[in-house]
Amino acid sequence: MKNIINVALNLPLYRTYSYLIPEEIDDIKPGVRVEVPFGQKKLVGICVRVDKNSKHKKHTYKLKYLNSIIDKKPVVTSEILKLGKWASEYYQYPLGQVLFSCLPSKIKSGGDIKITDDREYIYIATGKALDSYFRNKHAQKKLYNKIESSEGTEVDVRKNKTILKSLLESGYISRELKERERKITKKIKLSKDQELAYRKIMKNTSSFAPTLIEGVTGSGKTELYISITKEIVDNNGQVLIIVPEINLTPQTILRFQDYLDFNISIYHSALTETARLKAWASCLNGEVDILIGTRSAIFLPFKNLKMIIIDEEHDSSLKQSEKFRYHSRDIALVRAKNNSIPILMGSATPSLESLYNCQIEKFSHILLKNRFHNTKLPSVTVVDTKVDTVRDGFSSTLIKGMKKELDDKKQVLLFVGRRGFSHTLLCNVCGWTSKCKKCDVHMTFHEYENKLWCHHCGLQTKVNFKNICECKSESEIIPIGMGTERIEKRAKELFPKSKVMRIDSDTINNISKLNNFINQSRDGKIDILVGTQMLVKGHDFPNLTLVGIIDIDSGLYSLDFRGTEKIAQMIIQVAGRSGRHSSEGRLIIQTRKPKHPIMTKLLENGYSDFSKDVLKERREAALPPQSYLSLFRVSTNNKGEGLIFLNKIKNIYRDTITILGPAPAPILKKNNRYYYQLLINSHNRKFLLQKSSEIREYILKHKKSNFRWSLDIDPIDLY
């Protein structure tokens, strides 16, 4: 009988591998890293199961021995191992790749976990009898004497690290963490509504209790999170807070730090490797009280996690859109359930999934209907651009509205769906348009850098207007569609005295730039903000009173059944930036479709009512959240090839499960590959997963080598 372990490797393979444990090793736990031989290579793997005295003798003679064990203590805790196994099965992604994606790079490659401990300590002489140890050890003796005579007060030991270590190890001195002086922090006084919500949530903190907080923009969800977090950490628990990608600015952290003097760490993809490793390790050893991070933080190990908060739970950046396509909120729910702890999900515009879970009483539902500062939600003006026509993006109503606010020294925000100058360029004479060579989309014109840029494959070409099209009609080339650059340019022409700033991923590509902009904006240095999505989320601009949505129409006719939900969320979120503090805010929307239900129902009755209607429609159409979907995508470099392949699959499975498609993906050609997709749909989640797995296996077995494929369980973006 042999001892065997199962090892998950960081490879795209849907299985684990067995290795023999050398006799001399008797202590190995699941979750440690091991080095194993794999073909000609040596790979780092994670032990996922230990099978002592394995009964399966049959094939053990074929097995190889593992080379070495890297860790004494697991780097993947039993909690994360369980969560990872669940995620691997649910999202049908290889276990090894799931587990490795939870680890910092240095740990993945087998590196040392050691990180410098920069906490401050007080050193104390233990009173151990001094013996021959100190003979001839002058420096040791000197430091010892210094520590002894300090009697527990602080001693500067920075230059004596090695000596200190040997004194500690030989037991002549001991150390204690220096009691940190607590900063004086602001106290929160909750409003009545916040207080009620707080009590409801804190009533039950020792079992799985999911709660959706649907609070209008400016209702003070953040202050509520802070109060709850304080209570949990005061009782020695750790709190994990997940925020959307773009919202993660030190501004959010600052708000927490204003109120709480705890050990707060951050975790997101823009951190340096060292910082990520440090955050990870300090979660693992229990040093962190509060961790604020983006979606991948859901896989961080904690010692005593007592609460998970998902801010902006509707936000699509919580779902990873490539490779391991998981939804951080959904994994958080499973984690909270595994740990029997509460989970809060907050949003002004909750996802229909979560609202549905409230309807069927899986989640408790807390409503915050009023803004904290008691200002009203913005009043809305819908501009029919068939009547009040726009010139370069601006209707006369919008211009008038802006003038009024700017004269009153208020701030204006203009929301534009797309960065760049124009959606495309068109020649009025020969009809040439700026189509991408490699994709089925138009290249966006970026005037500032004078280039055409494909936002799908990244192709960029310099623009020379003289011979851009065949007929060489330089003066007839016109920009079609509105991008941020074009609106910025026009705003400057219309309001030459105002300071205009453009905020999109071209101008703001790192956190320090984002902060710089936020500070300028708060200090009143900017009058007109022009921006994309980036401006919508979470920010609090005290002086902003008018939001203009330049063009909503392209979003109204999305192919995606979630199109309406997404655009409604966007409108409410962007409108929510307006009039948060004192004066009443305004929202101006320009559209050719003023009778669209978004314009009538959403803006008149609010998101809460609107979402109920949309839920009803989803039920009638048997679409999520009333049913479940999996999305298969196949691409090859030959047109039509993927479609034939998916049709084969359809013919095999059509009698057992509802199949939608196959069809060309909404962008058929991307980077010279042709994409096709097929959806499967069922009311029964288990059944859907089982069929997804059958189809996945079929694909693996029958695909040609030039095929690329993907499977997305619970897809958010169908285009």
446: nearest Cα among 481, 474, 397? 481
Pick from 262, 326, 372, 607 the residue near ligand ADP by CB under 6 A.
372
Say if CB 170 and CB 163 are below 8 A apart. no
Q: Which does 675 bind (CB under 5 to 8 A by kind): Zn ion, ligand ADP, none?
A: none
Residue 57, interface with ligand ADP (CB under 6 A)?
no
With H, G, I as helix, E, B as strand and everything else as coil, classify residue 95: helix
Question: What is the CA angle 650-654-659, rounded to 5?
Answer: 75
Residue 217, interface with ligand ADP (CB under 6 A)?
yes
Which H helix or E strand runs over 659? strand 658-670
CB nearer Zn ion, residue 87 or residue 439: 439
Q: Which does 190 bind (CB under 5 to 8 A by kind): ligand ADP, Zn ion, none?
A: ligand ADP
CB nearer ligand ADP, residue 3 or residue 219: 219
CB nearer ligand ADP, residue 317 or residue 434: 317
Q: Which does 623 bind (CB under 5 to 8 A by kind): Zn ion, ligand ADP, none?
A: none
In this structure, which amino acid lies at residue 83?
Answer: L
CB nearer ligand ADP, residue 254 or residue 430: 254
Say if CB 31 and CB 77 are below 8 A apart. yes
Only one of the segments 320-328, 447-455, 562-570, 687-695 lies at the binding site for Zn ion (rule: CB under 5 A); that segment is 447-455
With H, G, I as helix, E, B as strand and everything else as coil, classify residue 71: coil
Residue 189, interface with ligand ADP (CB under 6 A)?
yes
Residue 390, interface with Zn ion (CB under 5 A)?
no
Say if CB 281 and CB 115 are below 8 A apart. yes
Residue 668, interface with Zn ion (CB under 5 A)?
no
Cis before residue 244, ω within 30 degrees of 0? no
Largest CA distance in the chain: 98
Q: Which of residues 576-605 bind ligand ADP (CB under 6 A)?
A: 580
Q: Closest residue (Cβ) to ligand ADP?
A: 220
Only one of the segments 124-132, 147-155, 174-182, 184-192 lies at the binding site for ligand ADP (rule: CB under 6 A); that segment is 184-192
Only one of the segments 19-27, 106-114, 186-194, 585-593 lies at the binding site for ligand ADP (rule: CB under 6 A); that segment is 186-194
Pairwise CA distance, residues 202 & 232, whole Å: 9
Q: Which of residues 412-441 bind Zn ion (CB under 5 A)?
A: 436, 438-439
Residues 6+ apart with CB under 8 A from 475: none
Q: Closest separation between CB of residue 218 and ligand ADP, Å?
A: 4
Only one of the segments 135-143, 185-193, 315-323, 328-336 lies at the binding site for ligand ADP (rule: CB under 6 A); that segment is 185-193
Q: Closest separation between CB of residue 226 and ligand ADP, Å?
A: 9
Pairwise CA distance, residues 59 & 17, whole Å: 13
Q: Closest separation between CB of residue 367 and ligand ADP, Å?
A: 12
DSSP codes, 118-146: ---EEEEE--PPP-GGGTT-HHHHHHHHH
344: nearest Cα among 216, 194, 224? 224
With H, G, I as helix, E, B as strand and everything else as coil, classify residue 623: coil
Q: Which of residues 452-491 bind Zn ion (CB under 5 A)?
A: 454, 456-457, 459
Residue 219, interface with ligand ADP (CB under 6 A)?
yes
Residue the block writes with tokens 């709480």 = 260
**E strand map for 232-289:** 238-242, 264-267
CB nearer ligand ADP, residue 59 or residue 187: 187
- HSE (CB half, 13 Å, CA atoms) of 239? 28
CB nearer ligand ADP, residue 258 or residue 553: 258
Q: Closest separation between CB of residue 438 and Zn ion, Å?
A: 4
Residue 665, interface with Zn ion (CB under 5 A)?
no
CB nearer Zn ion, residue 428 or residue 672: 672
CB nearer ligand ADP, residue 217 or residue 422: 217
Q: Closest separation between CB of residue 286 and ligand ADP, Å?
A: 29
Q: Closest separation between CB of residue 611 and ligand ADP, Å?
A: 17
When computed from its CA atoms, the radius of gyration of the chain, rounded to whole angstroms, is 29
Pick from 373, 492, 593, 601 the residue near ligand ADP by CB under 6 A.
373
- Provide the 8-state DSSP code for 39: T
Pairwise CA distance, residues 484 & 528, whole Å: 12
With H, G, I as helix, E, B as strand and everything else as coil, classify residue 61: helix
Q: Closest separation between CB of residue 524 and ligand ADP, Å?
A: 16
- # residues near ligand ADP by CB under 6 A: 17
587: nearest Cα among 440, 323, 379? 379
Q: Which of residues 523-542 bind ligand ADP (CB under 6 A)?
A: 540
Q: Which does 459 bind (CB under 5 to 8 A by kind): Zn ion, ligand ADP, none?
A: Zn ion
The 3 state secondary structure assigned to 665-693 is EEEEEECCEEEEEEEEEECCHHHHHHHHH
Say if CB 556 and CB 593 are below 8 A apart. yes
Q: State whether the Cα torsion 350-352-354-358 is positive or negative.
A: positive
Site residues (vs Zn ion, CB under 5 A): 436, 438-439, 454, 456-457, 459
Site residues (vs ligand ADP, CB under 6 A): 188-191, 194, 215, 217-223, 372-373, 540, 580
